[in-house]
Amino acid sequence: MTTAWFDCASGISGDMFLGALLDAGLEAARLSGAVETLGIEGLALEAEKVKRLGFAATRVTVSAPHEHAHRHLSDIRTLIQASALDEAVKRTAVAIFTRLAEAEAQAHGEPVEKVHFHEVGALDSIADIVGAAAGVHMLGIEKCFFSPIATGSGTVRTAHGVLSVPAPATARLLTGVPLAASEESGELTTPTGAAIAAELAAGFGAMPAMTLRAVGGGAGSREGEKTPNILRVFIGEESADATPREVLVIETTIDDMTGEALSYAAEALTAAGALDVYTAPVFMKKGRPGHLLTVLAAAADEEKVLETLFSETTTFGARIRRTPRAVLDRRVAEAQSPLGAFRLKVGAWKGRAVSAAPEYEDARRIAEEHGMPLRRVYEILTTAGRRFLEGTQSDSKERE
């Protein structure tokens, strides 16, 4: 599966998103052609190579006729639906604009269909959003992931006056999204960029496991003072092992639940998506004995896990931190043993198999079929797994 991960350390905007895709190999003529299918005379994309704090990137600008129109969501939807774009591109572009309309409606306290688009409804933003939807489609990207997003600081001048960063619509679009600190001032993430990320994201966090195929950088309009104003994209094929490389560590201390109740809560948390759940005995205030309950979860499962935690335990709060982790790429192989075929979990580090372990369910099945102690079955399967691993490593060295 073709996957893209966007490094938003310098924020994200529509033109930066397009620049990153072009820099990663998308043909500028194809992307501009997609925008031109909207049928607006004079609307086109232009790309050039630039540098930001000494690093090369692609800068995209929109060539558009001057206009004073303030469009509604229905106007933009009609414009996109009447174009010759692929149906999948139309759906994505309309979905992004719908997110913008909903965020603006919430910010201004108006119904969605009455919202007037100013900056985000201008032709250049329409080109950015349609180009983003078309570019992802053209590159065959099936999943998009994003790092925590830097929003900037200070103020930004808009059609509604001077606003604090992030602007109201941007803040609403980024609700529930992990944000990153930045030493840069000004608006790093625009409403258009936030809407693109919010709609396309399959998740936020560290780069997913993938075999890297292309890297690109999209330049923002200005030079950064301390950080290159570049949105980077990494495109590749998702590894068979999709284990999260960044996890949430959720902890709470409990002193008023029985062991049975904690066990039930652990099972419920696992069913809600937790990667691991464990407890440790602790002494709490006034020497009371209790338990430290620790839950590991992927960022995408945070809401489900927290809801389960508060529903199934007596805690009134939990500590949450994000932490990177190093894990082996994992796959399941079939191996042979004197007791028959069994599944073997194989772990690889940087493409080299380094660990192998029999699957418990297969070991249990074989033990029951042969009337043998599980411990003895594990010994036999582990030996067979070791031979399998040695053969895999030998094949790898021969290919080298």
| Three-point CA angle 132, 205, 18, nearest 5° | 15
Q: What is the DSSP letter of 301?
A: G
Residue range 199-236, pLDDT digits in tens? 999 888 878 878 889 999 999 988 888 889 999 999 99
Question: How confident is residue 398, by pLDDT bands cut at 50, 70 and 90?
Answer: very low
DSSP string over 304-344: HHHHHHHHHS--S--EEEEEE----EEEEEEEEETTEEEEE
Q: Is the pLDDT at 334 greater than 80, yes or no?
A: yes
**Chain length of the chain:** 400
Q: Which domains are assigned to the chain?
A: 2-238 (no CATH), 246-324 (3.30.70.1380), 329-399 (3.10.20)
Residue range 41-71, pLDDT digits in tens? 888 899 999 999 889 999 999 887 776 667 7
The residue that leads in pLDDT, 254 or 159, is: 254
| Residue 216 near residue 58, CB atoms below 8 Å | yes
What are the angstrom distances between the C-alpha of 222 and each of 7, 124, 148, 181, 269?
18, 17, 21, 19, 46
The verdict on whether omega for the bond into residue 65 sits within 30 degrees of 0, i.e. cis, is: no
The model carries a pTM of 0.64
Q: Alpha-carbon torsion 330, 333, 336, 341, what sign?
A: positive
For all residues of the chain together, what is the average pLDDT? 88
At residue 239, the pLDDT reads: 66
Give the residue among 378, 255, 390, 254 at the shortest CA–CA distance from 319.
254
| Residue 242 near residue 30, CB atoms below 8 Å | no
Residue range 116-152, pLDDT digits in tens? 665 444 788 889 999 999 999 999 999 999 999 999 8
At residue 69, the pLDDT reads: 64
Beta strands in the chain (DSSP E): 2-7, 44-52, 55-63, 143-146, 149-150, 152-153, 155-158, 161-164, 179-180, 186-187, 201-204, 210-219, 230-238, 246-254, 276-283, 289-297, 319-324, 329-337, 340-349, 352-358
